[in-house]
Amino acid sequence: MELEIATAVEWVLVCKTDDVPHDGGACVKYNDEQIAVFNFARRGEWYATQNLCPHKQQMVLSRGMIGSTGEACEPKVACPFHKKTFSLLSGECLSGDEYQIKTYPVKVVGDDVYIGLE
């Protein structure tokens, strides 16, 4: 399984580590796609999701606030518009609506940030 996933993914260099603020996000452009990249510095983790908030179709998730919720400290991002929150792991909407956003794997090599695209 591991191997299969690794080969199916194409790693694209999108930005440098210091392009994304600590515990914040930034938006990168890949072809016509907008992808939000999050530097969860407090946990030493990186995440990426679609930049579009499905609630009102706004290109803003990278400007949202990240944090965690619950016992398991699930990482999440809150949309700046109406504060709908989404899991950075599964892309599931955590505020009770049936939205789903895309998530992408992220790899940091040195100070280069890569996103895994299928």
Within 8 A by CB and 6+ apart from 27, the residues are: 34, 35, 36, 37, 51, 59, 62, 63
Instruction: Indicate which single residue of 6, 8, 21, 102 sits in contact with another protein (rule: CB under 8 A).
Output: 21
Contact between 65 and another protein by CB under 8 A: the answer reads: yes
Q: How far apart are CA 76 and CA 69, in angstroms?
A: 7
Q: What does the per-residue mask of binding to ligand FES show for 54-83, with x meaning CB under 6 A?
A: -xx-x--------------------x-xx-
Query: Residue 90 CB, nearest distance to another protein (Å)?
Result: 13
Q: How far apart are CA 83 and CA 78, in angstroms?
A: 5
Contact between 91 and ligand FES by CB under 6 A: the answer reads: no
Instruction: Indicate which single residue of 9, 99, 105, 117 sits in contact with another protein (rule: CB under 8 A).
Output: 99
Contact between 89 and another protein by CB under 8 A: the answer reads: no
Query: Residue 84 CB, nearest distance to ligand FES (Å)?
Result: 4
Within 8 A by CB and 6+ apart from 7, the residues are: none
Contact between 17 and another protein by CB under 8 A: the answer reads: no
Q: How many residues appear in the chain?
A: 118
